[in-house]
Amino acid sequence: MRTVSIQVPDSVLGVPPKDPDDFVREMRLAAAAKWYELGELSQGRAAEVAGVTRAEFLAALAQFKVSAFQYTAEELDREARTRD
């Protein structure tokens, strides 16, 4: 595993400041959710990036208002038509 460090302004941690470890967990989860939403990661890989179980990741998707399904409307339509 690789360690990556970033610098953020103190103001990003909020008032009162969040614990840096909590901030990192939230940032990993937010990044994983966005990359999942963009179709760049599977659910399993996104959960791994976020450092949570797949079930926890699915719950977090709901908090971020991200669909757990990675299908476009066209794909869903095509799937529905092939099942008839």
pLDDT digits (tens, 9 = 90+) for 19-54: 989 999 999 999 999 999 999 999 999 999 999 999
Smallest CA-to-CA distance from 14 within 32, 26, 31 is with: 26
pLDDT of the residue at 17: 80
Where does the pLDDT of residue 4 fall: very low under 50, low under 70, confident under 90, or very high at 90 and above? Answer: confident
Distance CA 47, CA 36 (A): 9
Domain ranges of the chain: 17-82
